[in-house]
Structure 1
Amino acid sequence: MPAAASPMTDEQRKAVITAYLKAFDNGGTSHDGIPLIEFFAPDALFFFPKWGLAHGKSEINEMFGDLGKTVVSVEHHFSSFNWITTGTDVLAVEGTTHGEHRDGPWRVGVPEWGAGRWCGVFEVRDVLIQRAFIYMDPDYAGKDVARYPWL
């Protein structure tokens, strides 16, 4: 990744997050061969629902390995991202996805209550993700319906 002047602009931070998500969609490697974990600072924090909080690159790598055992493929819909920038190191993005989970496929809106909508809050500094907190329903295939009477 190219070095950025300090402090980074919102557009530079958005570019780091976009490159990370494209690498995620590409099975864990960017188009130019950068491994997914290299987008993160050594002491980064990463929260993912039903996994918990990963501290540092080693635990983040473990979390990606666990997630990779369940998700066959994913595609983020970059053209519909809704970015919330703050002019600081922190930014958020709302987005949608579709893909294949070991329990079955998902596509945002099918059904409307199902998986595919997500939000991430990121802190990006020195061209590295310092913090990533992902908020979404990890029941990709929509199997957890018995506990929700409105479904």
Structure 2
Amino acid sequence: MALTTQTMTDEQRKSVATEYLKAFDNGGVTSSGGSILDLFAEDAQVYFPKWGLATGKEQIGKMFGDVGGTLKSIVHHYSHFNWIFSGSDLVVCEGTSHGEHQDGPWRAGLPEWQAGRWCDVFEIRDWKIQRCFIYLDPDYAGKDTARYPWLAS
């Protein structure tokens, strides 16, 4: 990890996290036309369920390619976000989304148990994402129901 050189406010960290989410909605391209990877520190870590932990921009790029390659579209619902700030470099964002996976569409709340609700835990320092742990159900199209008795019927 690099030494901290710039003090950031919670709103500034929130703006970096928002730019990251908007880049996903825009196929991995930031509002300035750059790559989503530009938002990450060189030694950043990202966790995604069923993929694991990616360390460094090269592995993060592979993870985003693997996961993003299964998505036709995604839209985050920015007006419904809940933000939690720790008073340090940590920012938590809870939200909903809709879109289309290669296996079919999803929308948070339709049905209530299906994908679309998520929570991301960020560590943001010096205008770069140092860590982003993504918590969601990666079964976007809701196909994995047979293993859950309450969904099988």
Do they superpose with TM above 0.5? Answer: yes
TM-score w.r.t. length of structure 2: 0.94
Query: How big is the alpha-carbon RMSD for the aligned residues of Structure 1 and Structure 2?
Result: 0.9
Q: Which residue of 1 aligns with 2:68?
A: 68
Which residue in the other structure is 1:95 paired with? 95
Partner residue in 1 for 2:57: 57
Segments ≥4 residues shifted beyond 4 Å:
none
- Consecutive unaligned residues of structure 2, counting only runs of 5 or more, are none
Unaligned runs of 5+ in 1: none
Q: Within 5 Å, which residues of 2 pair with 1:107-122?
A: 107-122=107-122
- CA-to-aligned-CA distance 1:80-111 (integer Å, 9 cap, x gap): 10000011001101000000000000000011
Give yes or no for the alignment of 1:27 onto 2:27: yes
* Superposed CA offset, 1:45-94 (max 9, x none): 00000000001100000001101210111000011100000110011010
Give the Cα separation in 2 of the matches to 1:89 and 1:31: 23
Mapped to 2, the partners of 1:20 and 1:118 lie a distance apart of 15
2 CA distance for matches of 1:31 and 1:123? 21
Aligned partner of 1:84 in structure 2 is: 84
Q: Secondary structure, in 3 states, of the residue corresponding to 1:150?
A: helix
Shift of 1:6: 2.0
Identity fraction in percent: 65
User: Following the alignment from structure 1 to structure 2, what is the Cα–Cα distance between the partners of residues 136 and 67?
Assistant: 13
What is the rounded CA distance, in whole Å, between the counterparts of 1:69 and 1:9 in structure 2?
Answer: 34
Q: What does residue 141 of structure 2 align with?
A: 141
Q: 1:46 matched to which residue of 2?
A: 46
Secondary structure in 1 matching 2:149:
coil
Aligned length: 147
Q: Please state how far the C-alpha of 1:31 moved relative to its aligned partner.
A: 2.2
Distance 2:83 2:18 in 1: 11
Tell me by how many angstroms 1:134 deviates. Answer: 0.4
Q: TM-score, normalised by structure 1?
A: 0.95
Query: Could you tell me how far apart the structure 2 residues matched to 1:34 and 1:9 are?
Result: 23
